[in-house]
Amino acid sequence: MNNKVIIRDLGLRDYQPVWDEMREFTSTRDNNTNDEIWLLQHPPVFTLGLNGKPEHILNAGDIPVVKCDRGGQVTYHGPGQLVVYTLLDLKRLKLGIKQLVTRLEQAVIDTLSMQQINAGRKPNAPGIYVDGAKIGALGLRVKRGCSYHGLSLNVSMDLEPFSRINACGFEDLESVQLKALLSPENQAIDFNLVKQIIVSQLERQLFETR
């Protein structure tokens, strides 16, 4: 069995085609298919998960809404947010869905810790938080023992669209981003460095930690 992971940097891509590609990849993979991690950004889009309620979209305006097959409620993706899709054979990795969620969250927490940012979890509210404000979101789908979709991390983006939704189904949930939390002498964001760090943390959590 193959345990190698392939990292793909896809740049800026529309949501729908990437979602289609994730489903195609998952439906056609077999026991020897490499796991993959896709790194990308999306143009502005609201996505509504399987449990999502349309009333949590308060004012979409000119931003499209896509109903998708991940878990969770509504969230926003836009330029300056790092999206990480984890296409993993969970049976091969011997991971359950709760373990996967915990390890994805921990990878983001450790990534932020390397920037001297103290992040954590909230009970019954998947994601990553800093002082009660949400900086990272998770949404997953598992089919045939394999996962797709993944996580997002607010790095350096326009947060205004989050005010148009009840993010993840919570009213008045504040959103925050990495740029705003850095010390004044370290305000410049190296997006590529953030990608490198999160990949290394994901590899450690998913493929090295047992």
171: left (phi over 0), alpha (psi -120 to 50) or beta: beta
Please report where in the chains the tokens 């947060």 appear, as a residue.
159
CB 154 within 8 A of CB 175: yes
Which residue reads 């990480």 in tokens? 84
CA–CA separation, 135 and 131 (whole Å): 10
Region of 6 on the Ramachandran plot (φ > 0 left; ψ -120 to 50 alpha; else beta) = beta
Task: List all residues 6 or more positions away from 103 whose beta carbon is below 8 Å from its beta carbon.
Answer: 95, 205, 206, 209
Q: Which two tokens stand for residue 168?
A: 């993840």
Q: Residue 37 has which token pair? A: 């991690």
Q: Provide the annotated active-site residues.
A: 168
Question: How far from the centroid of its chain's Cα atoms is residue 36's Cα?
Answer: 14
